[in-house]
A and B are shown apart, each in its own frame.
Chain A
Amino acid sequence: MKTKLTILSLSAVALIVLFMTYHVMGNWDYVLPSRGRKLAAILITGAVIAVSTVVFQSITNNRILTPSILGLDSLYMLIQTFGVYALGSSNMTFMNKNVNFLFSACIMVLFSGVLYKLMFRREGQNIYFLLLVGLIMGTMFQSASSFMEVLIDPNEFLILQGKMFASFNNVSSDLLILSTVVLALTTLYFMRFVKYLDVISLGKDEAINLGINYDYVVKRLLVIVSIYVSISTALVGPITFLGLLVANVGHQLFRTYKHAYLIPGTILLSIIALVGGQFLVERVFGFTTTVSVIINFAGGVYFVYLLLKENKSW
């Protein structure tokens, strides 16, 4: 197990070095800060998406779910579409990025808060019920966005299209610092619950039997997960299936229930996928596609494979 982690860490570091130094041609002053920002954005979102998916899957006892289906991605798109539709793309670009970030993140956290409140009001609610409602809301947001999308002028649509897919290219340093602070605080809070994760993955009855205040812990974990997802989505845009991809590869690779290995392993996988993907996009595809499109594609295909394979874990 430890060797696997070491190998993963080494590959991640090697990829990062390659990414930072490839084809610099002496322009260190320009290249380093610009790639450094990209890298920071990748590290943050990669880690956050990995952790939130692993935690989410342990809570739901299910390997084919991801927090993206809480409807947050679609909500983000609705906010962005509405922004472009109502204010126009030029105003949208001029609109302070920080304001947009904070506004979107807050709305998303608020939405999931309200969703949880409504769903957990009645005792004994099935968590799948919560997810289904989230997903339905997501479909509704999508209908609303596509209604506006068609009304938008094709030129403005291009601006919007840029936001539909996660991109690490234009993340400003202020935003990076801001989201790092928020995430660090959230993670500090999350640390209190880490020790419960192994037991929670056994299932509700077992967890209660082993003395976990189940409802209390799960609600807090869900809030943490939605803060994570909101921040990463607001920072770079939606990458729906990255979490699904890396969490499942992580489970396959480590074959353990121990989150002490699963979480770092999945974080590393996620970083490898993103740095590698970004490298491919820049050097091989020459920016004709985006990382999130590639990863969603790969993740999606892998997921269908998982579903069709006979499997006991869900």
Chain B
Amino acid sequence: MVEVKHVTKRYGGVIVVDDVSLSITKGAITSFIGPNGAGKSTLLSMISRLISKDAGEVLIEGKEIGSCKSNELARKISVLKQSNHISVRLTVKELVSFGRFPYSQGKLTPEDRAFVDEAIAYMDLQEMQDKYIDQLSGGQRQRAYIAMVMAQDTEYILLDEPLNNLDMKHSVQIMKVLRRLVEEKGKTIVLVIHDINFASCYSDYIVALKNGRVASSGTVDEIIDTAVLRDVYDMDIPIETIGGRKIGVYF
């Protein structure tokens, strides 16, 4: 389990994340939603140790992340940021192979190769595995990065706006894969996501943030609710149930 306790982050004098506590359930998808500037990405980055926190602690299986060895942590938790700007020229397969670095330190064993091949197959990337990353379309590239995180074979996977700049088809494709990862492989996934309907249809739990604080959190049914969302977004969002799914009509 990942537990976040009283975590705070300031930039200059501005408090971006303000005394946030929450816990993330294993084997489920948890989505962070909230308006721009709510502190979603900052919180995710702190949980994944990409940035340091000014106060509070983040515990992974009871151990504070700051006290874990960096390499061991990389076998437990992986993170993918929204701006994947890699300046190096890599093929898909080479990128995915980097996911095995925490285990092999660069020298791939047959076992590592098996993981890499499996991740490529899982993300349906076999045909383009020798293509360079910069030759891929947005959706393909995002899948390649997720394949790398898969090869890393961590229990926890943190994704910062994985649907950014993707069209509907590719967004749905990515979300379905994430769902499969949870159901077939028992992974725990945390997402930052903008569209409440994607959050509603594919996640198990939702944490709504506002002004650096947790506005409310709970199951999808609890959060996708006109009254709760009014608090978060300051607008009225009627909720319709279509095909058993709760859809917010915010237009």
Contact = CB atoms under 8 A, between A and B. Distances in A.
A contacts B directly in the complex (CB < 8 Å)? yes
Interface of A: 61-62, 123-124, 195, 198-199, 201-206, 208-214, 255-257, 312-314
Contacts of A209: 48, 50, 74, 78-80, 152
A210 B94 contact: no
B106 A198 contact: yes
B152 A61 contact: no
Interface string B57-80: 000000000000011111100111
B144 to A, nearest CB: 13
Name the 4 nearest CB pairs between A and B, nearest first.
Answer: A211-B74, A211-B71, A211-B102, A257-B88
A215 to B, nearest CB: 10
Nearest to B107: A195
A312 B88 contact: no
5 contacts: A199-B101, A204-B50, A206-B98, A209-B74, A209-B152
A211 B70 contact: yes
B169 interface: no
A211 B101 contact: yes
Interface string B84-113: 011111100010001101100110000000
Contacts of B70: 208, 211-214
A123 B52 contact: yes
B134 interface: yes
B74 A203 contact: no
Contacts of A195: 105-106
A211 B75 contact: yes
A210 B85 contact: no
Contacts of B88: 201-202, 257
A213 B51 CA distance: 12
Given A198-B106, A201-B88, A211 B73 contact: yes
A206 B152 CA distance: 12
Contacts of B48: 208-209
B93 to A, nearest CB: 13
Interface of B: 48-52, 70-75, 78-81, 85-90, 94, 98-99, 101-102, 105-106, 134, 152
A210 B102 contact: yes
B107 to A, nearest CB: 8
Contact of A211 (B51, B72, B80): B72
A198 B49 CA distance: 21
A257 to B, nearest CB: 4
Nearest to B100: A210
Contact of A210 (B86, B89, B98): B98
B152 A210 contact: yes
A210 B87 contact: no
A313 B134 CA distance: 11
Contacts of B52: 123-124
Given A211-B73, A212-B70, A313-B87, A205 B81 contact: yes
Nearest to A256: B89
Given A199-B98, A210-B74, A205 B50 contact: yes
Contacts of A203: 85-87
A124 B54 CA distance: 12
Given A198-B106, A211-B102, A124 B51 contact: yes
Nearest to A214: B70
A194 to B, nearest CB: 9
A257 B99 CA distance: 15
Given A198-B106, A257-B94, A312-B134, A208 B87 contact: no
Nearest to B158: A209
B89 A257 contact: yes
Contacts of B51: 124
Contacts of A201: 87-88
A221 to B, nearest CB: 15
Contacts of B85: 203
Contacts of A62: 87
Contacts of A214: 70
Contacts of A211: 70-75, 101-102
Given A195-B105, A209-B50, A210-B98, 13 more contacts: A123-B52, A195-B106, A203-B85, A203-B86, A205-B50, A205-B79, A206-B86, A208-B50, A208-B70, A212-B70, A213-B70, A256-B89, A312-B87
Contacts of B99: 210
Nearest to A63: B87
A208 B77 CA distance: 11
Contacts of B86: 202-203, 206
A129 to B, nearest CB: 16
Given A209-B78, A213-B70, A314-B87, A202 B50 contact: no
Contact of A208 (B49, B75, B152): B49
